[in-house]
Structure 1
Amino acid sequence: MAALLENEEAARAWIGEAFSPTELQWTQLDRFAALVIAENGEQNLIAASTIPTLWVRHIADSAQLLCFDRRDGEGLWIDLGSGPGLPGVVVAILSARPVMLVESRRRRCNFLRAVKAELGLAHVRVIEAPLERVETRAAATISARAFAPLDRLIDLSARFSTESTCWLLPKGRNAVKELALLPQAWQSLFHVEQSRTDTTSQILIGQGRIAAKQRGKR
């Protein structure tokens, strides 16, 4: 298991080692963190208790997903229920991947559009709509952080998947339990990885297409 990132200094050091950010990327990450903290006073983007450990709990926690899918610049990354842009904005800062942030709440979308403009993230697109109303398109990567229970998440997003789609789904301490409740055909696409940022959190990593005909079958 990879070493746990226990504090803000360790989180920043790990990001430096893993991604070798440019000066611009460091500036963008710092500014994004500042924007999230400032906006949190206006709307509840993240738990206030996590602000002192924002780099561990949110920035590094998002960045680690790139380690499981390093196709830099290749294919659309769809971030479902993006909220404050976690992990989507962090992914967009640290890679050249085109990123689509799907979020249904207007105030969150206004924040995401402001972040996109201020950080100059031209390869980011903000979609303000419930996922059910988002036009179907092929996703190279699908991520979702605290979006919905796993079975509903997959049911809603299956139409975006292809044979090569990478699924990156942080699911906290209930990852194994949620995975066991899926139809067997879905379970076979996934394995579990330990999070670098929390000993009790796990990430479901999947590969492949989920066909509509599989839904509801065990």
Structure 2
Amino acid sequence: MSEDDAQAAVEAIVGTAYMDRLARFVARVTDESERQNLVAKPTLAAIWERHVLDSAQLLPLAGDQPGLWADVGTGAGFPGMIIALATERSVGLIEPRRMRAEFLASALADEGLSNRVTVYQAKVERVVALSAAVISARAVASLSELLQSTAHIASMDTLYLLPKGQSATTEVNEARRRFEGLFHVEQSITSPEAGIVSARHVRQRR
């Protein structure tokens, strides 16, 4: 997929109105990557496909689920900043590394989004004043570990949307030993071999 194709695919998901915001953020990530390791350097040449589209594809999976979207270990802001920039949702960006958290806060301030998007510079286990309707996490931890570490900010109605690459089905099978819930694996549109775990009504087995 070319970068032009990836941009067109993103636009088809989010609509034309949000593309300028996303383009500014892509430029900001590219520029900031000269100062800190936000994303893997080889992926910068395909940032629209590897990061923006890979993030935006979660939006249709969320459907009309209202409420706060919490992105755990958001790093450079994928997918959390893409959700924030391409919707009008309330979003919580959870990132323990100071420089990355400061980068995200600066981007939000420049876009005028600080009133509905909050950066939490902490590990998710330390974030307590938050109740998430949607929880996402990209390349953070195993599915079982994520379900365990986010249980305190989730409810039975929380929707998990977790890109898991080629390990998606394996991780679901392992998680089912410890957790009950409705688990489903969606195919990623950016990689035929990759899966996105969708889960709700999750609770630990007794």
- Normalising by structure 2, report the TM-score: 0.93
Amino acid at match of 1:82: T
Give CA deviations for 1:57-87 in whole Å, capped at 9, x if unaligned.
0001000000101337x20000000101110
Report if aligned partners of 2:180, 2:202 keep a CA contact under 8 Å in 1: no
Query: Which residue of 128, 137, 140 corresponds with 2:133?
Result: 140
How many Å apart are 1:163 and its aligned residue? 2.3
Query: Which residue of 14, 28, 43 corresponds with 1:19?
Result: 14
Amino acid at match of 2:11: G
Give me the whole-angstrom Cα distance separating, in 2, the residues matched to 1:101 and 1:137. 11
Report if aligned partners of 2:168, 2:185 keep a CA contact under 8 Å in 1: yes
Give me the CA root mean square deviation.
1.6
Q: Give unpaired runs (5+ residues) of structure 1.
A: 1-5
Q: Give unpaired runs (5+ residues) of structure 2.
A: none
The yes-or-no answer on 1:190 pairing with 2:183 is yes
Distance 1:187 1:48, change over 3 A: farther
Report if aligned partners of 2:71, 2:135 keep a CA contact under 8 Å in 1: yes
Name 1:3's counterpart in structure 2. Answer: none
The yes-or-no answer on 1:89 pairing with 2:84 is no
How many Å apart are 1:19 and its aligned residue? 2.3
**Partner of 2:5: helix, strand, or coil?**
helix
Name 2:41's counterpart in structure 1. Answer: 48
Give CA deviations for 1:169-206 in whole Å, capped at 9, x if unaligned.
00011111111111346364211010001122110011
Amino acid at match of 2:88: A
Residues 1-218 of structure 1: matches in 2 within 5 Å? 6-22=1-17, 25-71=18-64, 74-122=66-114, 123-184=116-177, 186=179, 188-211=181-204, 214=205
Report if aligned partners of 2:179, 2:202 keep a CA contact under 8 Å in 1: no
User: Runs of 4+ in structure 1 displaced over 4 angstroms?
Assistant: none
Give me the whole-angstrom Cα distance separating, in 1, the residues matched to 2:186 and 2:202. 20
How many Å apart are 1:88 and its aligned residue? 0.6
Give me the whole-angstrom Cα distance separating, in 1, the residues matched to 2:80 and 2:16. 17
Report if aligned partners of 1:179, 1:187 keep a CA contact under 8 Å in 2: no
Report if aligned partners of 1:136, 1:159 keep a CA contact under 8 Å in 2: no
Q: Which moved more, 1:116-125 or 1:61-70?
A: 116-125
Report if aligned partners of 2:14, 2:56 keep a CA contact under 8 Å in 1: no
Give me the whole-angstrom Cα distance separating, in 2, the residues matched to 1:67 and 1:44. 29
Aligned-pair identity in percent equals 39
Give me the whole-angstrom Cα distance separating, in 2, the residues matched to 1:102 and 1:188. 24
- Normalising by structure 1, report the TM-score: 0.89
**Partner of 1:181: helix, strand, or coil?**
helix
How many residue pairs align between the two structures? 205
Report if aligned partners of 2:186, 2:196 keep a CA contact under 8 Å in 1: yes
